[in-house]
């Protein structure tokens, strides 16, 4: 089977040739053939565009934004605690998760990782997330 680009180029050349012959004695037959080839060409072009879109989408998904920091580096953890009471109603907050970010810091002659932990708290009374 021919590749998509070569098939498209072949069909374009055939259409151009048939359009030059269009005003000859068998012009009705040639017109039908031109219409069929144009439909086939349009279908191939749409298929090629769809294939390119799929390839681009898979390439974008495959590349992560940033690699994780190596596990062998020493880590220092900083926990940023929000208030234990809801700022709206004053009810006690409960933990629903946490956001963790790691920052690479250079201390002369060595590296260390500082982990910033920000707990996510929710108020059971008013359903506010802090």
Please state the rounded mean pLDDT for residues 74-83. 80
Whether the CB-CB separation of 121 and 82 falls below 8 Å is answered with: yes
Distance CA 98, CA 121 (A): 8
Whether residue 116 is predicted with pLDDT greater than 80 in this model: the reply is: yes
Please write the tens of the pLDDT for every residue from 118-130.
888 887 777 777 6
Please write the tens of the pLDDT for every residue from 101-114.
788 887 788 888 88
Q: Name the 3-class secondary structure at 80.
A: coil
Please write the tens of the pLDDT for every residue from 55-77.
766 666 655 567 777 888 888 88
- pLDDT of amino acid 24: 63
Neighbour order of strands in the sheet with 94-107 = 75-79, 110-122, 94-107
Please state the rounded mean pLDDT for residues 15-34. 73
């Amino acid at each position: 089977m021919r590749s998509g680009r070569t098939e498209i180029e072949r069909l374009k050349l055939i259409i151009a040739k048939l359009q030059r012959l269009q005003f000859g004695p068998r012009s009705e037959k040639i017109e039908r053939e031109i219409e069929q080839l144009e439909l086939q060409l349009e279908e191939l072009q749409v298929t090629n565009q769809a294939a390119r879109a799929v390839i681009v989408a898979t390439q974008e998904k495959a590349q992560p934004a940033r690699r994780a920091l190596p596990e062998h580096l020493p880590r220092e953890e900083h926990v940023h605690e929000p208030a234990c009471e809801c700022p709206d109603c004053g009810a006690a907050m409960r933990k629903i998760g946490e956001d963790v970010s790691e920052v690479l810091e250079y201390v002369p002659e060595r590296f260390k990782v500082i982990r910033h932990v920000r707990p996510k708290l929710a108020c059971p009374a008013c359903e506010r997330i802090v």
